[in-house]
Amino acid sequence: MRSLDPLEGLAAFITVAKHLSFTRAAEELGMSRATVGAQVQALERKLGVRLLQRSTRAVVLTEAGSAYFQSLVGIIPQVREAERAALSYQEEVVGRLKMTVPPEFAQIHMAPIIAEFLKRNPSLSIDVTFSHRAVNLIDEGYDLAIRGTIVLEPNLITRHLGDSPLVLCAAPDYIEKHGLPAEPMDLPGHACLHFSGLRWGNVWILRKDGHTLRIPIVPRYLANDGISLRDVALAGAGITLLPMFEIGPEIRSGRLVRLLEDWTIGSIPVHAVYPDNRNIASKVRRFTDFLVKRLPKDAFS
């Protein structure tokens, strides 16, 4: 059977040399005497030199074996300590957690969650990049991403966080001055505040009773940041289209008013994604679990 000794016989040789006994070495290592002997012989063949003289009564180090043993003193504890250090990244929340998150979602929902997780795990640091870009997690060295996207790579593990409806809205001040759009075709006549990152361009897509309307707009304000669009809409400058996870509190408080509610515009599925690796570090798994538990129930609606 293939040896499982990561040091390829070094542990067996060092233990035999320490006790000058294959039997005692086998007991200490939790192996059979035959396995210890086989590992030492394999090491001697690899080195091309005899390390031990064996007889029915005694085990004696050769001159080469004695020199080899002296040079290896202390190596096993060092290796075991290195193994423990590596395994701690699986078992404890330590090191650095590098993630990429859409800026709006992070600022509105994740900042207090990150703060609490850091307080609970003092040996961890968190490095966040705010971006809408779907980065290559493995090539760019990220542990975790939060994404509002439908297309996900097959080599990533996904945790569904929620689905956030897209809604049209405006401030009461704007509605009082410019009136409500009665139907989708009225929208191009209004001041439109538009998110520039949409792959389908300057178009708002609305659906009702099996019919789909694609409404071209000429934005009065174009931005790649949802919080900026929200704030400009709150100031009464126009109508905007945003996911509820960005404007839920404003809709519920009446500071923004939903428009054309009998039309649907779709929703954004939000996921936590990380590389498909059996040895997922504890920091990734535990942070994701913590995020799922701590996100407010109304975060997406």
Is pLDDT at 211 greater than 80 in this prediction?
yes
- 141 and 277 Cβ atoms separated by less than 8 Å: no
Is pLDDT at 3 greater than 80 in this prediction?
no
Is pLDDT at 134 greater than 80 in this prediction?
yes
What is the radius of gyration, based on Cα positions, of the chain? 32
Q: Give the confidence band of 5 by pLDDT, cuts at 50, 70, 90.
A: very low
Is 10-88 in CATH node 1.10.530.10? Answer: no
The torsion of the CA quartet 237, 241, 246, 248, rounded to 10 degrees, works out to 90
- Give the Cα separation of 264 and 77 in Å (integer): 64
Beta bridge partners of 273: 145, 158
CA pseudo-torsion sign 224, 227, 230, 234: negative
Q: What is the CATH number of domain 93-163+269-294?
A: 3.40.190.10
Going by C-alpha positions, the residue among 191, 195, 189 that lies closest to residue 173 is 191
pLDDT tens column, 230-288: 999 999 999 999 999 999 999 999 999 999 999 999 999 999 999 877 556 788 989 99
* Beta-carbon contacts of residue 68 (< 8 Å; ≥ 6 apart): 13, 47, 51
Average pLDDT, the chain: 88
Is 165-266 in CATH node 3.40.50.1100? Answer: no
Tokens standing for residue 102? 């859409």
Q: Read off the pTM.
A: 0.67
- 10-88 and 93-163+269-294 share one fold: no
- Give the Cα separation of 163 and 10 in Å (integer): 55
* Beta-carbon contacts of residue 25 (< 8 Å; ≥ 6 apart): 12, 15, 16, 18, 19, 36
* Beta-carbon contacts of residue 98 (< 8 Å; ≥ 6 apart): 126, 127, 129, 141, 142, 143, 144
Q: Where are the domains of the chain?
A: 10-88, 93-163+269-294, 165-266
- Give the Cα separation of 9 and 20 in Å (integer): 16
Query: Is residue 158 exposed (0-12), middle (13-18) or buried (19+ Cβ within 10 Å)?
Result: middle
